Amino acid sequence: MTSILYAEVYLLCIGIVGLCIYWSTRRSSNSAPERWLYVMLVGFMVSFVSNLLFTLFNSILVVPGMVYPLSYLFKTVYHGATCFGVFAWCGYANALCRGTLFTSRRKLLIPLVPLAVMLGLILSNLSTHHLFEIDASGKYVRHGLFQVQMGVLVLATSVFSLRLLFQAHGETDPVKRGHERLVATFPLCLLIAWALSIVGESIPVICVAITLELLCLVMGTSTQQISMDKLTQVNNRQNLMGFLEYKLYNHDEKLFLLMMDLDYFKTINDSYGHLEGDDALIRAAKALKLACDGYKRRPYIARYGGDEFIVVIESTKADADALVAHIREVLDELNGKAQRPYELKFSIGMSEYHPGMTANDLIEAADNALYEIKRARPDHGSRR
């Protein structure tokens, strides 16, 4: 393949990644996976641009006296940006796994240290040439440290990939399960890159493979955002109905639906304002997320509307009852940490699926159970 065609392929990939970056900046969500995805896109964009510039100035737009230093500069940036892009992918995968490794500055030092060491070795290559060198004719030649670099990148991404695959195995939402499995394929791109490094870079399959992976990640993230409630970052009502239609006919154990709403939520809005009410909804959703972690089949969470949430759990009646108690415990803990002049409490109604029931039947049964619980309270009145 000629240098011109090679450059054209890289230019096409740069254009696609550029569009992905643009789409990412247009989205209103600011979740941890979205932030890491944006950083990943920028990292690989820098990597692709630097490799394109290397090709242009090394083979096409040859500038006498500048080929040698520019070639080293662009290839050094290429290797550094590639490592940074892989680091950002690990952060993205960790966020999808709801891990804590990248969530605080102190814990972030753990993955930053090997990244800093790798970037230091890449910079030191300018004098040692242990990673790569460019000979007098302008030919790019890799050395032993390159194999070490690729081995470290493949190993690091494989760890997070296995975590994602394990999580996807227990994910009840088919949309999320498919996206997690797709993300977990990223180490395959690095393996392709490593294998192709044996024959050199005459074929830009590495760039194309990573670009397709990034495009799929952006499209998958966009699909998930459409199905997410923007305020609470749990599934919205539209996604809930699709999930129930699927789950009613695809479950192995008993299926339970928990319908819940926040007690006296209208009072919070009236007394403290709607911004405080939004904060209360976010805290309630956080309690549900924390309470639902740790299950073999992670319960499905959705915001039904207003202050109403739904959790669907596929397990035993004992597990469903335990989840109800755990939700209340976690919410009490968050109330203590929030230090607000009010406490959030859930009223929770439960229904069990029986053959012949529709999604609306299951929701209505849980809603009726919720109403009975509220009606039995001494201060029964408005559901809000």
Nearest residue to 21 (alpha-carbon basis) of 98, 193, 13: 13
Model confidence at 322, pLDDT cuts 50, 70, 90, reads: very high
Beta-carbon neighbour count of residue 248 at 10 Å?
17
Q: Which DSSP category does 310 fall into?
A: E
For the chain, percent helix, then strand, then coil, each to nearest 5?
Answer: 65, 10, 25
What would the two tokens of residue 97 be?
Answer: 């796994």
pLDDT over threshold 80, residue 308: yes
Quick one: average pLDDT of 80-101?
88
What would the two tokens of residue 296 be?
Answer: 């073999």
Q: List 262's β-bridge partners, or say none.
A: 346
State the average pLDDT for the chain. 86
pLDDT over threshold 50, residue 356: yes
pLDDT over threshold 50, residue 383: no
pLDDT tens per residue, range 38-59: 999 999 999 999 988 888 887 7
Nearest residue to 240 (alpha-carbon basis) of 228, 256, 252, 223: 228
Quick one: average pLDDT of 77-106?
85
What would the two tokens of residue 247 be?
Answer: 């789950």
Task: Give the pLDDT of residue 382.
Answer: 47
User: What gap in Å lies between CA 309 and CA 154, rounded to an integer?
Assistant: 40
pLDDT over threshold 50, residue 384: no
What would the two tokens of residue 200 be?
Answer: 């050199």
Residue 349 parent element (H or E): strand 346-352
User: What gap in Å lies between CA 349 and CA 261, rounded to an integer?
Assistant: 9
Task: Give the pLDDT of residue 103.
Answer: 67
pLDDT over threshold 70, residue 61: no
Q: List 312's β-bridge partners, or say none.
A: 257, 300
User: What gap in Å lies between CA 64 and CA 43, rounded to an integer?
Assistant: 30
Long-range contacts at 291-294 (CB < 8 A, ≥ 24 apart): 291/323, 291/326, 291/327, 291/329, 291/330, 292/323, 293/98
Quick one: average pLDDT of 337-343?
85
> Do residues 384 and 266 make contact, with C-beta atoms less than 8 angstroms apart?
yes
- What value does the CA radius of gyration of the chain take, rounded to a whole number of Å? 26
Instruction: Label residue 242 left, alpha or beta by phi (over 0 means left) and psi (-120 to 50 means alpha).
Output: alpha
User: What gap in Å lies between CA 326 and CA 336, rounded to an integer?
Assistant: 16
> Do residues 134 and 75 make contact, with C-beta atoms less than 8 angstroms apart?
yes
**C-alpha pair distances (Å), 73 with each of 3, 78, 326, 351:** 19, 9, 56, 64
pLDDT tens per residue, range 164-179: 998 888 777 888 888 8
pLDDT over threshold 70, residue 380: no
pLDDT tens per residue, range 92-137: 998 888 776 776 667 777 788 888 889 999 999 988 889 988 877 7
What would the two tokens of residue 257 be?
Answer: 């639906």
Highest mean pLDDT among 69-73, 140-144, 301-305: 301-305
